[in-house]
Chains A and B, each alone.
Chain A
């Protein structure tokens, strides 16, 4: 209540809207330029809350098996409240062409960078949870300007990077129904609205079900997709993992290793957040909305951060600032609760890495897959071939994890170039 008041005062004092849209919104279908501008009072309030954090006592173990360790999180949050500078990110975002347009009743924010190269292939790249468009900032240069990044003009992409409804600068749906199918239809409309008649889609995490739904819907103009968290688990493997039963007979050594790794990860509780968000996004949202430290810990619970050093290793990618950019974005846009609802929407559909619930066999368009070895599982090519009847590209690279574009942008861009080369229209 007080926050909203403070916020209103800030607006009046600074004469700014928190995330300004320039231009007129008379027609919802208009694509309006957008800039990020957070009032200083809101940033001051965040710092004040960080300084006032009430901490629990230390975990009772010597590792992260109970969640984010107190000392690691305190160190990160201390930096967040002192050294971290949101304005740098704001400047980076505002250096990019950002827009908003209303689709299916929800305002959609997106970054749209056209390549200067003729015949660049348009690609729509979708983030996941607990991510945002910040995951993709580092690949924009390599994709749109390949000649400056070890590629040729024929590798160029026009890049469209939207914020999922309920995430970042997009609107927060007030009603239900924004599942990956509906988001996929909105993305097709977005590409049409931008005038693209021949394009591709890319995603990991939630970006995979969304890109896959676009492919299944055979959106007009969509030529193929590239995914980095494919849904390849065969039904007998998914069933054995769900029931705790023995591994299915006939697995190859590699498949068996993937099966055992998935089982171990499940036993270690890596999916508890998934269960909670699917069941009760609103309940978990209150603490993550009201407490910066609570939000940071909740974001970092994702297994994609399992190997992350909490900033102790300055050379590690994503950097401490990258991760705090993303967490601060969730804080400032107040999307901790709304973002979690995508799990609730997914609901009974269940696993996002199993082939049957994700209906992979219904995808007729070409599917390209890159496996990053430190992702939540290493999809074997055998399973990928079974799951995706039109698998056009499969490559396991030697480094990178769940947030591939964020962690290994050059490698990620190289994968997209190779993966989509066969589907580029001949000129």
Chain B
């Protein structure tokens, strides 16, 4: 399949995943030979991922986990690679059989990958099989961020969210979509919001599950360790508390990756080092993930978690993915949750266990064209992955008004 792109032929190649057995055996050997630190000194995760969690994960990873199942799931989907702006971009592209389906580009974040989105593909493209109607159908495009998964690894600085957003627009145009929407949380939110700021003609609106809505006075008060303003509503106060915890205790990993990503040689060389680094994204996610290794069944499964970690391991992208923080810091001094001044339609789903659940009042201020706002009663940072049914329902409702 080829298409014309600004006068040059840009190929879109089919792509299949197939890692050699030797690489899988090597991974297993490394997991079994892990040299461990001693147990943390506390009875909670306040010093980081607890030893018992990591050892349960390592046991399952080495003895029972089967990467080939994930590979099969990926290869059952149409995967492609195309070069944009000098870099190979991998993406999954599933066309709905329904006419008039709305094209959506969904962007993962860190420490995620396209694996976060696998469970929402069928509900979105094939709604009549999943409690929806033909009018709910989406064409789904799920790219791997530069430096992540099967996309190329940039060898020079500059692949920040602004540039990624431009590449995504190119991708949608190359696929022949003239009207589309964008969706994301985590880095996916940043990329989708920057697309919205760039206002490419085809982009009708965006949906975010990690909205950037924190008012300037709140950000400042949090940064300066001040008391919360007295007039906060209960919803706002809850968001304040979540942000306060995150800023005080939860930013170590982001700080490290924004400043010294290359120093993290240990997570390129040690499977357990990589897994612990990825599990410790934020306190609540960590709890939601740790619980599956303690036998709980809500949300993610052990295989979900290890599919994603194994993908990072096999593609050796621990450090290339971390560089997105570094590249972003070179061009942006604003906070991750600062409103960006988006003028096109925005839909917000606030999941309760997200780093912070954006209050409606802040969302209304941050997004003048707020077309949808909903507070969910469960789900966290990896909403599509943890709660695919809720996430799908949100996307259907959120974009209804933008369909023509």
Let me know if A55 and B269 touch, CB within 8 A. Answer: yes
CB contacts (< 8 Å) of A174 on chain B: these are 38-39, 41
Let me know if B263 and A301 touch, CB within 8 A. Answer: yes
Q: Is the interface of B mostly helix, strand, loop or mixed?
A: helix
Asked if B249 lies at the interface with its beta carbon under 8 angstroms from chain A, I say yes
Let me know if B265 and A275 touch, CB within 8 A. Answer: no
Let me know if A298 and B153 touch, CB within 8 A. Answer: no
Q: A287-B277, A291-B266 are in contact. Are A3 and B34 (CB under 8 A)?
A: yes
Chain B positions 40-74 with a Cβ under 8 Å from a chain A Cβ:
40-42, 47-51, 54-55
Nearest to A64 among chain B residues (CB) is B262
Q: Is the interface of A mostly helix, strand, loop or mixed?
A: helix
Q: Which residue, A282, A294, A336, A344, has most C-beta atoms of chain B within 10 A? A: A282
* Residues of B in contact with A, size category: 35 or more
Q: Smallest CB–CB gap between A154 and chain B, Å?
A: 45
Nearest to B153 among chain A residues (CB) is A57
Instruction: Report how far A4 CA is from B34 CA in the complex, Å.
Output: 10
Let me know if B265 and A60 touch, CB within 8 A. Answer: no
Interface hit among B236-244, B251-259, B388-396: B251-259
Which listed residue, B42, B223, B250, touches A279 by the CB 8 Å rule? B250
Asked if A175 lies at the interface with its beta carbon under 8 angstroms from chain B, I say yes
Which listed residue, A2, A55, A73, A336, touches B37 by the CB 8 Å rule? A336
Let me know if A56 and B319 touch, CB within 8 A. Answer: yes
Interface hit among B106-114, B154-162, B337-345: B154-162
Let me know if A280 and B47 touch, CB within 8 A. Answer: yes
Q: A54-B316, A56-B316 are in contact. Are A287 and B41 (CB under 8 A)?
A: no
Asked if A243 lies at the interface with its beta carbon under 8 angstroms from chain B, I say yes
Instruction: Report how far A337 CA is from B51 CA in the complex, Å.
Output: 11
Q: Smallest CB–CB gap between B326 and chain A, Å?
A: 6
Instruction: Report how far A297 CA is from B255 CA in the complex, Å.
Output: 17
Asked if B276 lies at the interface with its beta carbon under 8 angstroms from chain A, I say yes
Let me know if B255 and A276 touch, CB within 8 A. Answer: yes
Q: Mark B316-355, 1 if CB is under 8 A from A, else 0.
A: 1011100100100100000000000000000000000000
Asked if A70 lies at the interface with its beta carbon under 8 angstroms from chain B, I say yes
Let me know if A282 and B34 touch, CB within 8 A. Answer: no
Instruction: Report how far A140 CA is from B215 CA in the complex, Å.
Output: 57
Nearest to A282 among chain B residues (CB) is B48
Chain B positions 143-180 with a Cβ under 8 Å from a chain A Cβ:
153-157
Q: Which residue, A4, A54, A174, A278, has most C-beta atoms of chain B within 10 A? A: A54
Asked if B231 lies at the interface with its beta carbon under 8 angstroms from chain A, I say no
Instruction: Report how far A276 CA is from B258 CA in the complex, Å.
Output: 12
CB contacts (< 8 Å) of A61 on chain B: these are 157
Q: Mark B170-209, 1 if CB is under 8 A from A, else 0.
A: 0000000000000000000000000000000000000000
CB contacts (< 8 Å) of A287 on chain B: these are 264-267, 269-270, 272-274, 276-277
* Residues of A in contact with B, size category: 35 or more
Which listed residue, B51, B153, B251, B260, touches A301 by the CB 8 Å rule? B260
Let me know if B273 and A341 touch, CB within 8 A. Answer: no
CB contacts (< 8 Å) of A298 on chain B: these are 263, 265-266
Q: A291-B266, A294-B266 are in contact. Are A269 and B260 (CB under 8 A)?
A: yes
Let me know if B264 and A279 touch, CB within 8 A. Answer: no
CB contacts (< 8 Å) of A55 on chain B: these are 265, 268-269
Asked if A373 lies at the interface with its beta carbon under 8 angstroms from chain B, I say no
Asked if B136 lies at the interface with its beta carbon under 8 angstroms from chain A, I say no
Asked if B33 lies at the interface with its beta carbon under 8 angstroms from chain A, I say yes
CB contacts (< 8 Å) of B326 on chain A: these are 66
Let me know if A66 and B224 touch, CB within 8 A. Answer: no
Instruction: Report how far A52 CA is from B34 CA in the complex, Å.
Output: 13
Q: A57-B153, A286-B272, A287-B264 are in contact. Are A280 and B280 (CB under 8 A)?
A: yes
Nearest to A77 among chain B residues (CB) is B265
Q: A57-B320, A282-B40 are in contact. Are A293 and B266 (CB under 8 A)?
A: yes
Which listed residue, A2, A67, A289, touches B261 by the CB 8 Å rule? A67
CB contacts (< 8 Å) of B260 on chain A: these are 66-67, 269, 272-273, 301
Asked if A225 lies at the interface with its beta carbon under 8 angstroms from chain B, I say no
Q: Mark A57-93, 1 if CB is under 8 A from B, else 0.
A: 1111100001111100100000000000000000000
CB contacts (< 8 Å) of B259 on chain A: these are 268-270, 272
Instruction: Report how far A291 CA is from B269 CA in the complex, Å.
Output: 6
Q: Smallest CB–CB gap between B31 and chain A, Å?
A: 10
Give 23 pairs: A residue, B residue, CB < 8 Å, sorted on A: A3-B35, A54-B268, A55-B265, A57-B155, A67-B260, A68-B262, A176-B41, A273-B260, A273-B263, A276-B253, A279-B249, A279-B251, A282-B47, A283-B49, A284-B266, A286-B36, A286-B54, A286-B273, A289-B35, A290-B34, A294-B265, A298-B266, A334-B38
B contact set with A: CB distance below 8 Å: 30, 32-42, 47-51, 54-55, 153-157, 223-224, 249-253, 255-256, 258-270, 272-277, 279-280, 316, 318-320, 323, 326, 329
A contact set with B: CB distance below 8 Å: 1-4, 49, 52-61, 66-70, 73, 172-176, 243, 268-270, 272-273, 275-291, 293-298, 300-301, 334, 336-338, 341, 344
